[in-house]
């Protein structure tokens, strides 16, 4: 049997030359080398591909809920969504109405409280329990012969009230109110609500200055009566008459407010 021999004429690979490799082989070779640049790149690509696959699967699963639905099911779903949207809109409208109602109630209470306070201040001024300031007149009554008595001052106060005086004070110490009493003093002067005052008498009144001054200057009025007994009346108009004295209102002893329902 003939010996097998190598063909000396067969081509031999040149030193340093290697057979060509495929892309898959190069990828596997790069993965076998830990920490290589190719391995990191391949890992990132695999993560991106995996994330994209998960998103696509979820999207397909969501769409699949409606793809196989019948027409009546889709209509029922649309109707339910429409009803839910309508209910939400109704709730929003009710909440807005409640909010507006609360705002209106708060504003109404605030307005009523402000009006009540204003009315209380007005009544306090008219009743003489609060100090007051405003335009008016200052009436100075001089009495050199000590002939001006309580009847003259009462007439002057009444004329000021008739002319619209809202607050009256005598000698910057006694507030004149509806219950104020005047009488002649035993040694001259006038006793007003238990307090003795002497001339010159200074009567301050808040109201329309022109109307108050005209009311005192009527014929056979207050000024004429005082001048007839030897006195003198000087009326000075002012835009800032200040009345500081107050009247202590007595407490009701028998009367009580009627209870409201």
Residues 120 and 182 sit within 8 Å (Cβ to Cβ): no
Burial class (CB in 10 A: 0-12, 13-18, 19+), 27: middle
Q: Where are the domains of the chain?
A: 25-64, 71-127, 133-243
Furthest CA-CA distance within the chain: 182
Which ranges of the chain would DSSP assign to H, the alpha helix?
23-32, 37-67, 71-127, 150-162, 209-216, 222-228
**pLDDT per residue over 88-125, tens digit each?**
888 888 888 888 888 888 888 888 888 888 889 988 99
Burial class (CB in 10 A: 0-12, 13-18, 19+), 127: middle
- CA 224 to CA 32: how far, in whole Å? 130
Which structure tokens are listed for 176? 């004149």
Instruction: Render each residue's pLDDT in the chain as its tens digit; 261 residues.
Output: 444 444 444 455 554 445 555 655 665 665 555 555 555 665 666 666 666 665 555 655 555 555 556 667 667 777 778 888 888 888 888 888 888 888 888 888 888 888 888 889 988 998 899 999 999 999 999 999 889 999 999 999 999 999 999 999 999 999 999 889 999 988 888 999 989 999 999 999 999 999 999 999 888 889 999 999 999 999 999 999 999 999 887 888 898 888 876
Identify the three-state secondary structure at position 185. coil
**pLDDT per residue over 218-228, tens digit each?**
888 899 999 99
C-alpha 220, offset from chain centre = 56
Class of domain 133-243: alpha beta
């Amino acid at each position: 049997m003939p010996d097998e021999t190598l063909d000396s004429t067969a081509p031999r690979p040149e030193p340093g030359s290697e057979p060509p490799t495929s892309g898959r082989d190069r990828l596997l070779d790069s993965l076998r080398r830990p920490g290589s640049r190719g391995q990191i790149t391949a890992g990132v690509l695999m993560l991106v591909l995996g994330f994209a696959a998960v998103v696509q699967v979820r999207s397909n699963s969501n769409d699949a809920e409606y793809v196989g639905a019948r027409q009546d099911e889709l209509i029922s779903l649309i109707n339910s969504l429409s009803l839910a949207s309508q209910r939400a809109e109704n709730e929003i409208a009710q909440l807005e109405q409640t909010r507006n109602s609360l705002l209106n109630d708060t504003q109404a209470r605030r307005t009523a409280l402000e009006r009540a306070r204003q009315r209380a201040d007005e009544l306090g001024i008219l009743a003489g329990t609060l100090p007051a300031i405003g335009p008016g007149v200052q009436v100075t009554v001089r009495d050199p012969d000590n002939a001006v008595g309580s009847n003259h001052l009462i007439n002057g106060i009444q004329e000021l009230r008739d002319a619209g005086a809202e607050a009256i004070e005598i000698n910057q110490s006694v507030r004149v109110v509806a219950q104020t009493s005047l009488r002649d003093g035993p040694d001259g002067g006038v006793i007003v609500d238990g307090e003795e005052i002497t001339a010159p008498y200074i009567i301050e009144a808040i109201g329309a200055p022109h109307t108050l001054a005209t009311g005192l200057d009527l014929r056979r009025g207050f000024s004429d009566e005082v001048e007839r007994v030897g006195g003198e009346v000087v009326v000075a108009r002012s835009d800032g008459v200040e009345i500081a004295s107050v009247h202590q209102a007595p407490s009701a002893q028998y009367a009580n407010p009627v209870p409201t329902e």
